[in-house]
Structure 1
Amino acid sequence: MYNIIEGTNEELTKIASGLGLTYDEIVMLRNYFRGLGRNPTDIEIQAIAQGWSEHSCYKSSKLYLKKYFSGLKSDYTILTMEDDAGVISFDSNYAYVVKMESHNHPSAVEPYGGAATGVGGIIRDVLCMGAQPVALVDSLYFGDPDNEKGNLTERFIINRVVGGIRDYGNRVGIPTVAGSVNFNPIYNGMPLVNAGCIGIVRKDHVVRSRISKEGDLLIVCGGRTGRDGIHGVNFASKILKADNEENRNAVQLGNPIIKEPLIHAILEANEAGIIDGMKDLGGGGLSSAVSEMLFAGDMSGIINLDRVLLKDSNMEPWEIWVSESQERMFLAIDPSNLEKIKKIFGKWGIEYSVIGETLKSPNLIIQHNGEKILDMDLSFLTGGPVYARSYRKPEKVEKTVLDREPENYRNFILEFLSNPNICSRFNIVRQYDFTVRGDTIVKPFAGMPNHETHSDATIIKPVEESYQGLCLTSGSIPEMVGIDPYWGTMHVLSEGYRNILSSGGTPHSVVDALNFGNPANPETMYRFIESIHAISDFCRATGLPLVSGNVSFYNETEWEILPTPNMLLIGKIEDIRKAKTVEAKHSRNPVYLAGTILPDLAGSQYSSAMHTRHSILPHMDINELIALKDDIDSSKDYIESMHDISTGGLLMSILEMSFGSHYGIEADISSIPGRTNEKLFSELGNGILIEVRKSDEEKFRKSFSRSKLEKIGVTIEGEVRIMENGRYILSEKSNKLRSVWEKGLDSYI
């Protein structure tokens, strides 16, 4: 029993620290329970502590999220920012469901389990909307792969995170189709693991994460409840400390072998129309799922904890309530449907228990072995404090910086190709089964067999009887966001938008996963607010809805990470047979640069390689981006291949288009503004490289009338030649360059 109503300031401070609360928050609780004339029970104070954690109630971000993200919908959104995942219309009968979340703290402590349960949790977020999960996305941010300091070497973290994602996704039978990987010493010991999932559901079968019917039975099904993952949300709501045994105990244990039949059972029950409300048991366990689902439907309930199936029979009631054991779902059904769902669970070998029923009452009641151990107002239990955190623009001296040029471009390029942020991702992505289910149309790699290159976006075909598809791309550019959080985020969104365009799709929706440091730091809050301001402005300018999201604070150890707003963009393509891929298709086709490359190396991988520090980031022209979309829409029939200009600049766009086939590119960059290194390596602007069918070149030029367009070269047999002012900067066989590029991660993975 916690004695908070009579506790001294010193005692309250100690209690607050142990629960992950602030002193002011424990004083709020003291005043509340003084009003009730009693101290809280163990389960009550533990439930409040997890419900009021940053991870659960968004107490530092909620105010600003409402300010900037309200109203970011469209006429084709069905549910946005209301339930566990966003629901967006796909066609007249189906909707797609999407969510992305971080699992950073667990992955820093136990990389394999943390990454695996991140995948498992995001699958359940989509499943609880009644959707069949059809694809996974993972964006990963690691430290210097050569770093051996800290409790875990960076190579160990990288391999175990990738292994956790691989084993969970492959074993549950859902393809991992898209994502990104970034390496930066700022993430040493503090990896970011952002997991996303896309599902498909008939519109008339969407399930809400709420229940509004009195007398419904409340069921927990799937895995049993144990001591793994206790205080997981509290652990994820504070700065990570090394050598803390509590950290490891807070990491959940995943089991994809249970998850696969659980998915089948839930979908069959939903098809039968017997689920009235559903929520996954993730962060906060029963405490979050039960409280949030009941409160959202203006209901309450009575829960009997002794009916919960346990891994450990000697668990305390509060441990049962806040445990984050994996592979569990929480359902509400009408009592008349109990026999039906019992048969379905029996068919798939799924354990379940009826733990309570819904009531029309303000208070949630929990009993254990006949004793009432919790009786609290749900609005207080789930509300949590809301903070208007102070924010302050970081002080810095802004000055223009020119990056030095290499003495020998050819030698520099050969070394640049093996840079972990530039080289191929084969060693990672080929561990994932990205073709299981048979719905992956454009894979993470495009081109000839055993001669592939990176795709700009993956395309899946989620409905068997339709040729419509979804384009998926995810990532961030922390080096740019670190210079300027507003314009850096704008450039992140521009890249994702152009990834969709380059694949032949039309941008359709946006999902965020926002990774930042300590919200008590005013400079951190400034970066966070500027970043979400940019997301809001981008969505309003382009008409794209922001359909779901996640905020992860406290991502720091000895230092704070770079601000990392990871953006998942989803596009639609009306006919997957007309998808565009990156690799060059034929010899002697003209190659055009569409849009603008800004003559500035701020935030680029070239600048990182040269150890140059930039303090100013050029703006992104949103009007040019929209015009580019309209031009590509009207000229798609004449285009053979496209590749956006982003990581590694124009150079890498030329090379990656060449790496996927027998055809290289001969380009003359003389007319592009800027110095040679800026032309080749700038990652700023709205540039797209386009291969046009030679016979349709004139039609293409006439249809491409709204944005800047410049012919810079032609496709050729087996070589890459880049010329400026009559001299070759690079003239090399494509295969030689590719052999360096494809082996860049061999030493690490």
Structure 2
Amino acid sequence: MDKNLIKAHKISDEEYKEILNILGREPNLLELGVISAMWSEHCSYKSSKKYLNGFPTTAPWVIQGPGENAGVIDIGKGMAAVFKIESHNHPSFIEPFAGAATGVGGILRDIFTMGARVVAGLNSLKFGNIHDEKIGKFQKYLLKGVVSGISHYGNCVGVPTIGGECAFDECFNGNILVNAFALGICKKEDIFYAKAEGVGNPVIYVGSKTGRDGLGGAVMASDSFNEKNKSLRPTVQIGDPFCEKLLMEACLELFKTGFIIGIQDMGAAGLTSSSFEMAGRSGSGMKLYLDKTPMRESKMTPYELMLSESQERMLICAKKGYENEVIQIFKKWDLDAEVIGEVSDTGKMELFWEGELVGLIPIEPLSEKSPILNRALSEPKYFSEIQNVSFALKMDAQELFVKMLSNENISDKSYIYEQFDSSVQTNTLKADGSLGASVIRVKENNAALAMACECNSRLNFINPKIGAAIAVASAGRKVACTGAKPLAISDCLNYGNPENPEVMWQFAKGCEGIKEACKALNTPVVSGNVSLYNESNGISIYPSPTIVSVGLQEDANKILKSHFNKAQIPIYLLGESFGEFGASLAMKIQDNKVAGKLRELDFEAELKLWNFLYEANEKECLECANNVGIGGLAVSLAKMFAISNVGARLKSGFKQNAWLFEESQSRVIVGVKDEKLFLNLIHQFNIPFTKLGCTDNDLNFTLDELSLSIKELKEIYFNSFRENLL
């Protein structure tokens, strides 16, 4: 076969030798395309798989861990929560509206293909420098396009987007991150899996017709950006949220019938990945008659049909004899549905076109035994250089405080969340401008699910292991601040080019951090995604492992607020402060540096804090709780007062003004309802605490030497982000 053709499919010489070994012959173009998609980094995880082994994935409440379309946990009284986070980074950089929209569509299908109705969405967004003279305008264009795409798709389908995060840094100038999370609810006995078994059982294509959009998407997502491949728009799919809504309702109706064996979303690599994964998980073979595929464009080829990533499509393995019943359900919802194949016992994928066998590929080597690469690891050169950089406050503390509040990484993102419908389905308890985790009610069991998204890329840059562990802990801490118990996580591991040994070192260390944190905090990984090659012109992004923690509060009426709502509420800081400035926002704003050291996370102290928050909330002695995060105590308190209508004169007890902005972990601010009960309980848990003061009706915010009227505070916090986008 032509070497240029092999190279164009991102197949290495070693991989091509293995293909020859598997097939016992040269592949044809169709077979090469199918194998290249299945062995792409995006589909096979060939660089990352060895480091994902060993993730904690089980617990008494885990029903399904990694390996299916989404993870599933038990949430009581016969109900289950199904959730996952995925990336759509490359498509969103190329075509922000369509890329972000189809990212939402894809994650929704991952959830409802498991049998769950999707009830909530989150997103984690990272953009470059919006102030830069050269690329600031482009970054704003990307942001506006991505937000429009997310809101368009989610709002039209009728799934509430209830929270997330948005951050900015120069490291994302050439490669933005768009990570989408979705969560669904179903009865435990109604969970469906991606399998195709039973010889002769029909394989049915349902949903939209197939076009040429998205061709090569999985391979595109497995490469870096450079000057040669900037014009990649044909690889970005175009989504139709109204069709997605019909598809979701049709699938949920189908799940009640008992007509099917399994179902799989046609995501990355389209019909290729869905068919191979369903058959591979079942140890089956499959015959596909590609000319029967519903097509919306003329003269499509088998190659295009197998690799198209047209949206809103599913592949179903039905029980033999029920084909017509399945098809009629989808016809009722005005969707295409055609029998395009059948399950066999050959262990091979047989591809036919107009009666002729045009492709014959063993399934297991592609779906279950893809290559595992042992890429070189090397500690980055910068790592030792930044460790000894320290922070000293040179700026006036008040000036730095105001700059931090107005910084796009801190200020209110109402420009973004106002475009999302957060109240559709009427289950949202906490969303939008609320701090910390978002919360939905589960009507079926009167419980509440809290979920929080977390990733501080700067921390991961200076220490990828501790930074990743902090992401797990911070996401869980935000959930704990609602009074819920953190139960499990989904992760989206965004890193640079795996061919760079320094990037692979970052990735390996990040996985170590996640493993340690999840094990110590008893929040197993139940689903996730790896996104590599986040690089442009040789410059990789900072390591960015996005973590979503999901927790359960069995009584939806017991959810804690994250702000103050009246005067005379005692305010306490829980946890120890150590003067941690490594990769802090204060250092970034004052010194324009990302450097320093991170202190090892104290998992015992972290878990003790979570347990205290749960117990204190159960005993109803707390008024509100909020995590101390980026910007430290000063910024975290200021945000709480910005969304409140009270003031306070507070004293930190710190000996240095700089410590108002330090970012030690495992700290929480609480408003106390019953101070006597609170103090008794905090002593029982042996958690360090400091009384900061009380809320009052003065409508001024004062913390040590920092002071703003509540009016000024609100103006800075709520208006700065919009002004930065003008």
The interval holding the TM-score normalised by the smaller chain is over 0.9
1:731 to 707, 711, 722: 707
- The offset of 1:410, in angstroms, is 2.5
Aligned residue number for residue 460 of structure 2:
481
SS at match of 1:277: strand
2:303 aligns with one of 318, 323, 342: 318
Alpha carbons of structure 1 residues 402 and 166: separation in structure 2 relative to 1, 3 Å: same
Q: 1:52 to 1:148 in 2, by over 3 A?
A: farther
Conserved? CA contact 2:428–2:441, under 8 Å: yes
Counterpart among 357, 361, 386 of residue 372 in structure 2:
386
Alignment counterpart, residue 511 of structure 1, candidates 477, 486, 490 = 490
Q: Is the Cα–Cα contact under 8 Å of residues 595 and 708 in structure 1 kept in the other structure? A: yes
Which AA in structure 2 matches 1:531? G
Deviations 1:257-314 (A, max 9, x none): 1111111000000011222100000100101100110110111111100000111121
Q: Post-superposition shift, 1:31?
A: 4.4
Residue 342 to residue 148, structure 1, CA distance change in 2 (3 Å): farther
Aligned partner of residue 81 in structure 1, secondary structure: coil
Residues 1:443 and 2:398 aligned together: no
Cα distance in 2 for partners of 1:127, 1:278 equals 10
Correspondence list, 1:100-119, <5 A: 100-119=85-104
| TM-score, L = length of structure 1 | 0.93
Distance in 2 (alpha carbons) for counterparts of 1:252 and 1:723 = 50
Distance in 1 (CA, whole Å) between partners of 2:292 and 2:239 is 22
- Select between 301-310 and 268-277 the one with higher mean Cα deviation: 268-277
C-alpha distance in 2 between matches for 1:237 and 1:152: 27
**Mapping 1:84-233, distance limit 5 Å:** 84-147=69-132, 149=134, 153-233=138-218
**CA separation in 2, counterparts of 1:151 and 1:140?**
16
Of residues 402, 409, 413 in structure 2, which corresponds to 1:425? 413
Deviations 1:83-132 (A, max 9, x none): 11101111131111001100011011111111000000000111111111
Q: Deviation at 1:211? A: 2.1
- Confirm or deny that 1:60 pairs with 2:47: yes
Equivalent residue, structure 2, for 1:576: 556
What is the deviation of 1:412? 2.9
Aligned residues with identical type, % of pairs: 30
Q: Residue type of the partner of 1:502?
A: C
Residue 397 of structure 2: aligned partner: 409
1:6 aligned partner: none
**In 1: Cα distance, 2:265 partner to 2:444 partner:** 30
* Correspondences of 1:218-617 after superposition (within 5 Å): 218-242=203-227, 244=229, 247-382=232-367, 383-395=369-381, 396-397=384-385, 399-445=387-433, 454-462=434-442, 464-558=443-537, 559-610=539-590, 611-617=592-598
Question: 1:101–1:324: structure 2 CA closer, same or farther, 3 Å change rule?
Answer: same
Show the counterpart of 2:30.
43
Q: Residues of 2 paired with 1:327 and 1:417: CA distance?
A: 41
Distance 1:243 1:147 in 2: 24
Task: Report the 3-state secondary structure (helix = DSSP H, G, I; strand = E; otherwise coil) of the residue aligned with 1:240.
Answer: coil
Counterpart of 1:622 (choices 589, 594, 603) is 603
1:676 to 657, 665, 688: 657
* Residues 341-350 or 526-535, more deviating: 341-350
The whole-number CA distance in structure 2 between the counterparts of 1:386 and 1:347 is 45
**Within 2, Cα distance between the matches of 1:399 and 1:605?**
17
Equivalent residue letter for 1:26: Y
> Counterpart amino acid of 1:397?
E
Correspondences of 1:699-714 after superposition (within 5 Å) = 699-705=677-683, 706=685, 707-714=687-694
Find the residue that maps to 1:598 and give its secondary structure: coil
The answer to whether residue 9 in structure 2 is matched with residue 19 in structure 1 is yes
Q: Residue by residue, what CA displacement relative to the aligned partner does 1:338-396 show, whole Å, maximum 9, x if unpaired?
A: 23223311221111111011011121111001110011211233332111222122242
SS at match of 2:721: coil
Corresponding residue for residue 8 of structure 1: none
The 5 A counterparts of 1:653-692 are: 653-670=636-653, 672=654, 675-677=656-658, 679-692=659-672
- Name whichever of 20-29 and 181-190 sits farther off: 20-29
Q: By how many angstroms is 1:26 displaced?
A: 2.1
Q: CA deviation at 1:243?
A: 5.8
Q: Aligned pair in 2 of structure 1 residues 273, 148: CA closer, same or farther (>3 Å)?
A: farther
Structure 1 consecutive aligned stretches of length 4 or more whose deviation exceeds 4 Å: none
Distance (whole Å) between structure 2 residues aligned to residue 259 and residue 399 of structure 1: 49
- Structure 1 residue 698 and structure 2 residue 676: aligned? yes
CA RMSD of aligned residues (A): 1.7
Specify the code of the residue in structure 2 equivalent to 1:441. Answer: L
CA distance, structure 2, for counterparts of residue 47 and residue 240 of structure 1: 23
Does the 8 Å CA contact 1:142/1:188 hold for their aligned counterparts?
Answer: yes
- 1:129-183 per-residue CA deviation (whole Å, 9 max, x = no partner) reads 1111111111000001134646981111010011100100001110111210000
Aligned-pair CA distance for 1:605: 1.2
- Report the 3-state secondary structure (helix = DSSP H, G, I; strand = E; otherwise coil) of the residue aligned with 1:444: coil
CA 1:407–1:143 in 2, change beyond 3 Å: closer, same or farther?
A: closer
Could you tell me how far apart the structure 2 residues matched to 1:469 and 1:520 are?
43
TM-score by length of 2: 0.96
Query: Hey, what's the Cα distance between the residues in 2 that align with 1:720 and 1:654?
Result: 13
Q: Distance in 1 between matches of 2:244 and 2:400?
A: 48
**8 A Cα contact 1:194 1:513, kept in partner:** yes
- 1:345–1:230 Cα change, 3 Å: same
Question: What is the CA–CA distance in structure 2 between the aligned matches of 1:723 and 1:540, rounded to whole Å?
Answer: 37
SS of the aligned residue for 1:498 comes to: helix
Contact 1:113 1:252 in 2 (8 A): yes
CA-CA distance at 1:455 after TM superposition: 2.1
Residues 720 and 730 of structure 1 are in contact (CA less than 8 Å); yes or no, is this contact kept in structure 2? no
| C-alpha distance in structure 2 between counterparts of 1:148 and 1:339, whole Å | 60
Deviations along 1:490-545, one digit per CA (max 9) or x if unpaired, are 22222112101111111011110000011111111111111111111111111212
Q: Distance in 1 between matches of 2:351 and 2:553?
A: 49
CA distance in 2, matches of 1:635, 1:346: 53
Change (3 A) 1:399 1:560: closer
1:568-596 per-residue CA deviation (whole Å, 9 max, x = no partner) reads: 00011111211111111221221111112
1:75 aligned to which of 60, 72, 85 = 60
Paired AA for residue 209 in structure 1: A
Aligned 8 A contact 1:147 1:188 in 2: no
* In 1, Cα distance between equivalents of 2:700 and 2:583: 26
Change (3 A) 1:397 1:177: same
1:307-343 deviation per Cα after TM superposition (whole angstroms, max 9, x unaligned): 0011112111111111110000111111322232233
Q: Which amino acid aligns with 1:324?
A: E
Measure, in 2, the Cα distance between the counterparts of 1:50 and 1:151: 35
Tell me how far apart the structure 2 counterparts of residues 661 and 366 of structure 1 sit (CA, whole Å). Answer: 62
- Opposite residue 55 of structure 1, the aligned amino acid is H
Structure 1 residue corresponding to 2:695, chosen from 702, 715, 726: 715
Q: Quote the offset at 1:613 in angstroms.
A: 4.0
Is the contact made by 2:87 and 2:529 (CA closer than 8 Å) also made in structure 1?
Answer: yes
The worse-fitting range, judged by mean Cα deviation, of 257-266 and 622-631 is 622-631
Contact 1:655-1:664 at 8 Å conserved across structures? no
Tell me: CA distance 1:124–1:399, structure 2 relative to 1, closer, same or farther (3 Å).
closer
Unaligned runs of 5+ in 2: none
For the Cα contact (< 8 Å) 2:648–2:699, is it kept in 1? yes
| Aligned length, in residue pairs | 716
Tell me, yes or no, if structure 1 residue 648 matches structure 2 residue 631. Answer: yes
Q: Please state whether the residue corresponding to 1:438 is helix, strand or coil.
A: coil
SS in 1 for 2:535: coil
> 2:36 is matched by which residue type in structure 1?
A
